[in-house]
Amino acid sequence: MTTPDKDTPLIFVVEDEADIARLIAGTLAEYGFRSETFGTGRALLSRARREQPELAILDLGLPDMDGLQVLRELQENHPCAALILTGRDGLTDRVLGLELGADDYLVKPFEPRELVARVRSILRRYQKAAPPSEPDGPGAARFAGWHFDIGRLSLTHDDGREVSLSAAEAALLQSLLKRPNKILTREQLIGERELDPFDRSIDVRISRLRRKLEDDPQDPKIIKTVYGAGYLLCGTVEWVTGWVGNG
C-alpha cells in the first residue's frame, strides 16, 4: 500500500534526558515523522487524552513514574503502537514490556537509523492491522464465537466479552486468520519484518492472544502450538466485510 504524505503518523516520545530527547526528535523530524516530546510520563498521558498518537516511544527510567506504567495506562486508555527505548536491557524489562503490548524494544545507546527502521517497521505492521479503508468499510472476521473488528483492533464474543488488542497482536491474529488450519512458522508470522534476534516476541504475543481468546489459555483450543514447527489457528473463519481472505 502507499501512505499519503498528509497522513504522516504522529509519534509521542517520553524521555527525561534533554540531549537524548533532542536527538530522537531531530531524527524523527529528519525522516519526515511528526513528533511531540515529553519529559514525564504524566505529561505524555495527559496529552494522549486530547490527541492520540499512532506510536509512543517510551523511556523506562522517568522522574515521575516507570515507563512500563506509562505503557500500561496507554494500552488501557489510548491504545497505540509502542516502542520501548531505554538504557535498561534486562530480560525482565524486555519480556514485561512485550507482555504489556509493546511492539518493539531498543536499548540505548542507539543508532538513529536503527530507531527509524524500527519505527517504520512498527508503523507498517500497524497499517497492516488496520487495512486502508475501502468503500464497504474496514474488514471484520468471525471465528470461534469471536467477532474481530480489524479497523478498531477490538474483539467481541457472542457472550458479550470484549477485549482490545495491541497493533502487533492484531497483526498476528490477522495472519493466523488468513490461513486457518495451516501451520505457520514464526518467520511467516513475523512477516516482512526483518528478523530480530529477540524473536521470542512472537511467543509472547501468542500467549497474550491466548489469554484474551481462550477459555483455558493453558489448554488452548483456538491457537495451537505445533512443536518444532509453529502455530496454527483451528476452526472456520468467516470474513464479514471489505476484506479479502484466503489471500
Applying CB under 5 A, which residues contact Ca ion? 16, 59, 61
Indicate the pairing of strand 223-226 with strand 162-164.
unpaired
In the complex, minimum distance from the CB of residue 96 to Ca ion, in angstroms, rounded to a whole number: 17
Our CB check for Ca ion shows the closer of 41 and 79 to be 41
In the complex, minimum distance from the CB of residue 62 to Ca ion, in angstroms, rounded to a whole number: 6
Query: Cβ distance 3 to 127 under 8 Å?
Result: yes
Q: Does residue 56 sit in helix, strand or coil?
A: strand
Our CB check for Ca ion shows the closer of 12 and 126 to be 12
In the complex, minimum distance from the CB of residue 190 to Ca ion, in angstroms, rounded to a whole number: 29
Our CB check for Ca ion shows the closer of 20 and 141 to be 20
Residue nearest to Ca ion (CB): 61
Q: Rounded to the nearest 5°, which phi and psi values hold at 205?
A: -65, -40
In the complex, minimum distance from the CB of residue 120 to Ca ion, in angstroms, rounded to a whole number: 24
Distance CA 118, CA 141 (A): 29
Q: 125 is written with which cell numbers? A: 505492521
CB atoms within 10 A of CB 85: 23
Q: Rounded to the nearest 5°, which phi and psi values hold at 245?
A: -80, -170
Our CB check for Ca ion shows the closer of 61 and 235 to be 61
Our CB check for Ca ion shows the closer of 110 and 242 to be 110
Q: At how many degrees (to 10) do helices 67-77 and 91-99 cross? A: 10
In the complex, minimum distance from the CB of residue 191 to Ca ion, in angstroms, rounded to a whole number: 32
User: Sign of torsion, CA 11 12 14 19?
Assistant: positive
Q: How many residues does the chain have?
A: 247
